[in-house]
Each structure stands twice: as C-alpha cells, then as structure tokens.
Structure 1
Amino acid sequence: MMILNRRLMLGLAAGGAMARLAPAAAQELRPHEKELYEAAKREGQITWYTGQYQAEPSQAIGRGFTERFPGITVNVVRSTSQVAFQRLAQDMRAGVAQCDVFSSTDHSHAAYLKRQGRLMPYKPHNAEGLIRAAKEAGDPDGHFQVTYLGLFLMARRSTDVSEAEAPKSWKELTDPKWRGRIAVGHPGYSGAITSWCLAMREKYGWDYFKALEKNQPQIGRSSADPVTMLNAGERQIGAAIPSATTLLSISRGNPITLIYPTDGTLMVPAPSGALKDAPHPNAARLFMEFMTSPTYYAVTRPFFSESLRPEVPPPPGSRPLDEVPLITADPKALERDGQEVKELWRDTFGV
C-alpha cells in the first residue's frame, strides 16, 4: 500500500483550487484534433470497453464525444472492470479485434496489455493539460493514460444509522454490531474492490476479512452495487463504494451520507489505452484525446466524477482532496497479488 504524499495530494487538489470551466461548445478543436477528426470520420465509429463508470455516465460520455465530433458514434460496452478484461481476453484468444479503447479500474490490466504488446503507443497531446498526479500515474512510454480517479469510501443509510453510531474507520466494520448490515462489492468483478482488498490486507492482514465475513456482508459484483442496496434499505452500511455514484444517488434524494474513513479513503487511478489492433485506429486516438480533454471532464462532472483537468471544478458535495487522508494500492502489488486476493476472498466468503 502506498500512502499519498503531500506533493501528490497538492497535484490532485490543484484541479479544484484553480478551476475555471469553459463551456464545451465554445472550445475550438486544436490542430492535432482536427487532423485526427478528418481521418476518424472516415472510420465512422469506435467501440469502447469500459469498467470505469456506471452505465448512465458511460452513455453520456459516448454522446458527448459524438456531439464534439459529429459523424463518429461510440459503441459503449459497459461492465465491471474484470468482466470487461475477460471479454477483451476472449476476443484476443479468438483472434477477433472488436475493441478500440479499453478502460479499467485495475491498473494491472493495462500493465499486462502493455507487456503483451497489445496497446498502441500513443500519448494524447491533451494529456499535457491534466493535473500533475494524473500525468505522473500514466505510462511513461505512452501506452496508457490515467483518465479516471476513483475515490472509494464508506456510507451510511442516514434514516437508519446516525452519525454518532456510524463506523468511522474500515477497522470498525468488523465490530459485531454491524452483523447483517454491511454491503460490499466483489474483487472477482471489480478492479476497485481488488485494490481495496490489497490496501486492507497491507494495513490489517487477511484476518481483517475473516472478521468481516463473520458480519455476513451482502456481496454484490460492482463496487457501486452497495449503493443500490442502501437505497433499497437492504443494508445500512456501504463499504468500499465509489464517491461519484454515491454523491449522484444523494443528489437524487436518497438518504445516504458519505463516511470518509479515518484510516484512509482509497484512491484508485484508473487507466485507459487504445488497442494496437484497434479496428478504428484514428477514432481510437481521437477518443484518447477526448478522454484527456476539458470537455470529457465537463461531461462527467454532472455524475460527480473527480476532475483531472484544472479548468473543470471538482464535483459538488465532495471534500477537497488535500483535506482527505488518502491511500492507494501499489500498482506492482496489484499485478503481482491481485489474483491471490480474489482466491482468498472466495475461500473466505464462499462467493
């Protein structure tokens, strides 16, 4: 596990401190975008495998791209990150090239694809305008770029659990009083949950999860599934849930309150990359430019996603990142130990 230093936190916080959002419609295409657009229009479409956002914002991103680059449609194939990677792996085994751009919340997916020579070496020009933390977390050789920064924390159903009663830390989730009241995702489906498992194992050992199992959590697939369970009143505490999905649910009147754990909110830098054998290579490059542009973060902001561009303010209702203790899983540990924690999870929880 890596504790984020002050330099990195200030790089993240700069996205809010200097935010000035220009209307997307007023943004002119830059010369490199115009050149790619002309070539991409002849291809006419792009297929995007993504596990970074839920279905609604993913579709909004597809529409936003087409609005900015008319004549090019986006085939959005949204699933959890592990399922998206499994689908891509099946395509590769079958010798079929369907995916143009792949986005995951699991850094090890991008590292593996790069090592296998499956990613296109293309560094978007627009990535130069990202906040420093995002640029530094990308691939130095330009095979993938961080396009999404997920924050994963806890939440309570405020009609059932008071602020005074609520757990304050990840460790407190093992208290027997939360037996039958917790909801969480599954590392076999969610890259973010894999990161959380590694971070918790580093901090507390696997005995933490043995203790958590005794509290009989309701286990979904996606990290966002517990938000649905809290909305329905099936559970009262959500563990390792995305801030963006939770804030969106709160904005729609659901009785949920975020809990920033005192032992660290999990930050997951999530990569995207264009495939080397992309059937629409120019559209794929253009989509990578879009994903690192101010327009992209203006499109995702209504869904409470963290902005990686200084021109776009942070989402309403979130805390400034320089005020939040942040932890993140070591990318090398994700690749080395990710499969191990998935197997340990299945052995411990039986699912």
Structure 2
Amino acid sequence: MSCSSRPFRTSPAGRKGRLLPYKPAGFSKVYDKFKDPQGAWVATGALAFSFLYSTATVGSGIRLTPRDLVDPTWKGKIASSYPHDDDAVLYLYTLYVQKYGWDWVAELAAQDVQFARGSNSPGDAVFGGQKAIGVGTAGSAVPSTSSPVRFVVDDGVPFMSWGQRTAILKQAKNTTAAKLFLNWQLSTEMQDGSWNGWSVRTDISPPTGLKKIWEYPNGNLDGFPRFMADRAAVERWKQTFALYFGEVKGDPTPGSLGLHPGA
C-alpha cells in the first residue's frame, strides 16, 4: 500500500497500471473529488493547513489573520515550517502571496521567524509554549473552550485543504491486508472519529460550528492537485521563497522517510 503526504499527481501510476483498482465499503459515500472513479486511489482523511495561535498569549477574543503576522508585536514570536521544504506548506504560502502580495512576504522575512523542517514543528512550538503563532501546519478547527490554541479557517482567510490519498500497489506483498486497511479507514467509526472533525464521506456531518471541508471556498480544495501537477512552477516558487527566507536547514521531518532516491 502507498500512503503519500501529498496527492498523487493525476494518478500517473494508476494510468500505467501500477495501482490495484479497489473500492472498499463506503466508497460510494466518499466525496467525488476524493476518489478515482475506477478505484485506483481513495482519500482516507480530510486535512487542512493554515496557521494557529496561542489563545493565552494572543488573547481568546482576538481574531488574527495572516496579514497581522507582519505586525511588529509578533516579531520573534512566530514559528513556521519552511515553505520550500514541503509542497503543502508551499501551496499555503502561495495563497498568502496571492492574497497579501510579495511585500507581505518581505515583511514576514523581517519578523525573525523560527523556520524548521516538518509541518509538525509550528504546532509543537505553539503547544509547547515556545512561540505564540505557528504557520504551515495542520490543526483542528472544532470549536473548543478548552483548547490552548486556535486553528484559523475563518471566512476570507486563505488556507489549503486536501484529501489524503491512499492506494494499493499491484505488486504489494499483501494486498488483502491493504484492502482490510482501506475498509477500516473508510468505516463510519473511523471517519466519525476524525481528530479534526472532517470526514471524506458525504454522509458524515462535522461537529456543530464546522462545515464539510469541501464547503469552504477559502480552503482551495481543488487548487492543490493542480498546483502539484506543474512541477516546474513548484520549483520556481521554492527558489523564490528561498531568496526571502534562506536555504532550508536542519534535520529532515521526524519519522519514517519511506522510499526516496538512493534508498
């Protein structure tokens, strides 16, 4: 089985016959854009990247937007994953550029931002009390009075969302186990218990206060696959952000790296 941290680019492996078509139980209930019609892949989780902030430090009644991050008040108090090290974070930053312009990027670069590899790092810094704001990380927007942070998906604020795609390789050692895994992942029990409140299934409603992930026009759900498909443009974006934020430094994202060149 193959699990990617970014969506397969127009299913090239599926077109070349490398993926095993399979439609697990609940496949018909999966949002149409979260599945290949022939079953070459299916999204098993709905995710979003945005920014979050500590309500204790910023204030529970304060509503920050990305534009506010360049306010001198937050200098030295922001953590971010490198946009030129992670394609999902890169796409989020391109949305910010389109909304706020390159001058905003230049001002952010002067904010003494703590950049690190790994989209987990901004959240770790905020939850750990080291920084007030984290940019380029996943989070839960489920309304809560007890959470120490607020993950922003407000109307008018750009963020990026996608369906985490899963597929079975035809040459996998145990396709039966992979099929069982897909059925488990798409079960109502698993989807209804999503940590961020969102499901890939159309028959499961999010908690009160949230919309289904595809109902957020500012979530840019359709844009990420298109962005990923143009690799030349992706590289240009990466190199441009490197000019503003410097070259990527530090250890790779924590955890298993999986297959990579030279493995």
TM-score, reference length from structure 2:
0.75
Q: Is the Cα–Cα contact under 8 Å of residues 307 and 315 in structure 1 kept in the other structure?
A: no
Answer yes or no: is the 8 Å Cα contact 1:101–1:284 preserved in 2.
Answer: no
* 1:232 match: 128
**1:148 corresponds to:** 45
What is the match of residue 3 of structure 2? Answer: 102
CA-CA distance at 1:165 after TM superposition: 5.0
Structure whose residues are more often helix by fraction: 1
Which residue does 2:219 correspond to in 1?
327
Q: Distance in 2 between matches of 1:283 and 1:234?
A: 42
Q: 1:229 to 1:286 in 2, by over 3 A?
A: same
1:259 aligns with 2:155: no
Tell me, yes or no, if the aligned pair for 1:170 and 1:263 is still in contact at 8 Å: yes
Distance 1:149 1:291 in 2: 12
Alignment of 1:172 with 2:65, yes or no, is no
**Which of residues 55, 60, 63 is equivalent to 1:158?**
55
Question: In structure 2, do the counterparts of structure 1 residues 207 and 166 end up closer, same or farther at CA, with 3 Å as the change threshold?
Answer: same
- Asked if 2 retains the 8 angstrom alpha-carbon contact of 1:226 and 1:241, the reply is yes
Aligned to 2:176: 282
Query: Could you tell me how far 1:232 is from its partner in structure 2?
Result: 2.0
**Matched-pair contact (CA < 8 Å) for 1:138–1:145:** yes
**Structure 1 residues 333 and 297, CA gap change in structure 2 (3 angstroms):** same
Residue 202 (structure 1) shift = 3.6
RMSD: 3.2
CA deviation digits over 1:150-181, x for unaligned, max 9? 123332212211245552x2222233332211
CA distance, structure 2, for counterparts of residue 221 and residue 346 of structure 1: 13
Q: Please, what TM-score do these two structures have when normalized by structure 1? A: 0.58
Task: Give me the whole-angstrom Cα distance separating, in 1, the residues matched to 2:179 and 2:149.
Answer: 39
Q: What CA distance in whole angstroms lies between the structure 2 residues aligned with 1:223 and 1:313?
A: 27
Report if the CA contact (8 A) 1:224-1:242 is conserved: yes
Q: Secondary structure at the match of 1:118?
A: coil
- Percent identity, aligned pairs only, is 24
1:313: Cα distance to partner? 4.6
Q: Does 1:242 align with 2:138?
A: yes
Structure 1 runs (4+) deviating above 6 angstroms are none
Provide the C-alpha distance between the structure 2 equivalents of 1:272 and 1:171, rounded to a whole number of angstroms: 35
Alpha-carbon distance in 2 for matches of 1:207, 1:118: 45
Which residue number in structure 1 is paired with residue 88 of structure 2?
A: 192
Query: How far does the alpha carbon of each residue in 1:237-272 deviate from its partner, in whole angstroms, 9 at most, with x for none?
Result: 12233223x769x78x66223333432343222211
Q: 1:113 to 1:345 in 2, by over 3 A?
A: farther
Partner of 2:18: 118
Matched to 2:19, the amino acid is L
* Secondary structure, counterpart of 2:119 in structure 1: coil
Whichever of the two has the greater Rg, that structure is: 1
Q: 1:129 aligns with which of 21, 29, 35?
A: 29
Residues 211-248 of structure 1 show CA distances to partners (whole Å, capped at 9, x for unaligned) of: 3212122123332321211122211012233223x769
